[in-house]
A and B are shown apart, each in its own frame.
Chain A
């Protein structure tokens, strides 16, 4: 147990327009979300002395990466004491975790953190690309692929949809998990999106609709996959002393989970039914006196529906292998249930903001600003998790007092 995390708060949040094929640039969307977050934190751009993002520029298409930190620093003319962008680490949320560490270490007082995607505009009217066969990968198709992807791409396992489908299939095999149970993640997300005016897909979805959606990679249907969008999410991590200056409740940082103890590989991990979430989830609870029973709302990554089930187990909301029965029928994870999950509609129905939509929603719920989708009673503790496969990071956030 340590007080390191509790030296920081999330003082402000902001989100740009979010939608399908907005046709705006990543930097344009980022400036919109950043200015909103800084204003929400009661700050001016001159107060921002730290900048962090995931994944940073240059490691994939611009639609996936968004603008790098140098571009954002320059566009906003920030004077920085600390800055960081990178793909490797505890999933997308690593950018927030890094910011908390920078503030805790005294390197910065107010860190602007953002994640921007324009994957919908980049994808255009074409299908979703796999690795090695996307429009920008023509060279790979002829010259060959090196590095870790050489063990999957040559076997036409082009996408995390394929890799995680095998993880899910193994879970089905070991624990008797059923397609109807898996469907509850997508159905729950859609139901919640119906109460979120900013969500992308809001029309009701039935179990029959789910099963009628085309198969992508068994057992994953189309509705088990998230929906690419354009949008930017930003937040400000500040020293805890700033909490009293806010005109809204500060979000406290209670604990973080970053561990990775199995082999960092999509197919060599010892336990294919959980992978890295197991380690990050377990570590999180070693850094707080709170327990899973204290959590009021859980925003759990759903790039593919199955990952939310993985996180339910990894964070101890149910036992190992028991996420299927836990979500059976969907009542327990509904807004009015004992553990509301992905209250904004997740990445399935509110759009693939790549982990940061979940972080944003955790803050919204803790601040009581969820409107029609606000979880009843007092939301004091929120769990938020990002990543899947060999990539995982988690945070426990609180309503700061």
Chain B
């Protein structure tokens, strides 16, 4: 999976902690990772110390395919951070588990072509200590 050039002038970074670091740095190896319960296979997002599905506590970051589908989206026009260039905010659902979703940005896609159901794949935008998982159209 590729790294992409920064598409935004500015991003508020996450505050890294022992709990979330595996997620926010997983792009360093080019893989999107979620915490996964080793007892029942459930993916936990956001990270949590106990599997809410089975109660398991052996939780390990595991890579997923990085492919997903746009569950919903919005094209933002308001210059919240001072940048008035419109951009797409997307809610991507992963095929690995029903309801396993990420809010992210769709990059490299004309804004009038964004739609629910669009297949996408992860790309990483690296800034400082963080690899932001963004998505691009998954060309067949």
Contact = CB atoms under 8 A, between A and B. Distances in A.
A176 to B, nearest CB: 13
A144 B10 CA distance: 12
Contact of A144 (B15, B87, B116, B132): B15
A217 B76 contact: yes
Q: Which of B11, B74, B134: most chain A Cβ within 10 A?
A: B74
Contact of A169 (B45, B73, B101, B134): B73
Contacts, number: 120
B75 A217 contact: yes
B104 interface: yes
B81 A216 contact: no
A323 B12 CA distance: 36
A210 interface: no
B75 A144 contact: no
Interface residues of A, number: 44
A166 B46 contact: no
A216 B75 CA distance: 8
A165 interface: yes
B42 to A, nearest CB: 13
Contact of A215 (B46, B77, B134): B77
Contact of B91 (A140, A145, A217, A272): A272
Place the interface of chain B in its size category: 35 or more
A217 B101 contact: no
Interface in B61-78: 71-78
A128 to B, nearest CB: 8
B91 A133 contact: no
B13 A154 contact: yes
Interface string A144-184: 11101011111111110111011101100100000000000
B76 A156 contact: yes
A220 B132 CA distance: 26
A157 B73 CA distance: 11
Contacts of B11: 154-156
Contacts of A270: 99
Interface centre among A133, A152, A156, A270 (most CB of B within 10 A): A156
A159 B116 contact: no
A144 B17 CA distance: 11
Given A267-B91, A268-B99, 16 more contacts: A129-B80, A130-B78, A144-B15, A144-B16, A152-B103, A154-B130, A155-B89, A155-B132, A156-B11, A156-B76, A166-B91, A173-B116, A218-B75, A218-B76, A267-B101, A272-B72
Interface of B: 8, 10-17, 20, 45-46, 71-82, 87, 89, 91, 99, 101-105, 116, 130, 132, 134
Q: Which 6 A-B pairs have the closest CB atoms?
A: A144-B15, A130-B80, A165-B74, A146-B15, A166-B72, A158-B80
